Amino acid sequence: MDLRGRKAVICGGGGFIGGHLAKSLRANGVEVIRAVDIKPMDEWYQVSPEVENLVMDLQDKENCYRAAKGADVVFQLAADMGGMGFIENNRALCMLSVLINTHMLMAARDAGVQRFFYSSSACVYNAEKQKSAQVIPLKEEDAYPALPEDGYGWEKLFSERMCRHFEEDFGLQCRVARYHNVYGPHGTWTGGREKAPAAICRKVIEAKHSGKHNIEIWGDGKQTRSFMFIDDCTKGTQAIMESEIHEPLNLGSDELVTINELVDIVEGIAGVKLERHYNLSAPKGVNGRNSDNTRILALMGWEPSIRLREGLQKTYAWIEKEMMALTHA
């Protein structure tokens, strides 16, 4: 399905990924008619002025019907979420996102929407397969038997199933991508919801400009992750939505690094070397997680490919500019 000329709605359009997706889709000829987010407009990460931008709580069913009206396709990215510090301490809030997904699926079905995209997460994967930092990359089938991240991961896995059954029972075409650690400019970098790349950039910038050359790292720094730059995320999201792939697909980089190596890269960009202090009581998530891209490569002939250093240079530069603006305000 070619999305060019289709009328698209982005739920969570005021968020980090949603803001980038709106601009990317419009640049690719997709008619984004509406972006919806619960945040006040001045807290949206990016705003596309040519789009109808609505501030609404999509846990409310009536708001979902208003959001879906006139849409050909819906991108459902709206969720109450954040980095590991947030999702480990707000499990009930994360679970309540099921209301958004339930009501948006119902609204899309009743509005005659042709396709529905759901942004799932690598947090759906079985924790037993993520105990070692010497990780075996996670295949799509590794989500079952189920033992996902408590709270957030359970909600994502349940909503994946709901998409599947809405397609089977009502004919609503659904596409699901399991995002793996998305980062980049115009994202959260402070306040408790930020993810590791942004948090490390902020801490290194603070250390560099304060002259206090030390950094706190959550966990022992040996936990492993892969991180996907936002441009790969938006490209993959559109490609998966346009595809005929009905099962959930990994959407993530397979460039595996330890958190210590992530800090090494950011230190290199900043031109500083910091003394590291490890907070072993802080939330650190699973010991190891990486994306197995065998299926997306086989089915689409493409995988996320932007190298971590390249993406971090852009992210670091943007966060530093934001921090300096606040300092001199």
* Catalytic sites, residue numbers: 152
Angle at 83 (CA atoms; ends 75, 27), nearest 5 degrees: 35
For residues 216 and 277, the answer to whether their CB atoms sit within 8 Å is yes
3-state helix, strand, coil in the chain (%, to 5): 45, 20, 40
Of residues 38, 13, 39, 12, the one with CA closest to residue 26: 13
Of residues 92, 43, 90, 34, the one with CA closest to residue 63: 34
Of residues 160, 91, 136, 79, the one with CA closest to residue 289: 136
Token pair 């590291």: residue: 276
| CA dihedral angle for residue 48, residue 49, residue 55, residue 58, rounded to 10 degrees | -40
- The token duo for 255 is 């460039």
Which amino acid is residue 292, in one-letter code? D
Of residues 172, 104, 135, the one with CA closest to residue 285: 135
C-alpha span between 76 and 198 (Å, rounded):
24
C-alpha span between 235 and 240 (Å, rounded):
9
DSSP letter at 4?
Answer: T
From the number of C-beta atoms within 10 Å of its C-beta (0-12, 13-18, 19+), residue 60 rates as middle
Of residues 213, 304, 296, 217, the one with CA closest to residue 254: 304
- The token duo for 14 is 């005021």
Q: Which helix (H) or strand (E) holds 11?
A: strand 7-11
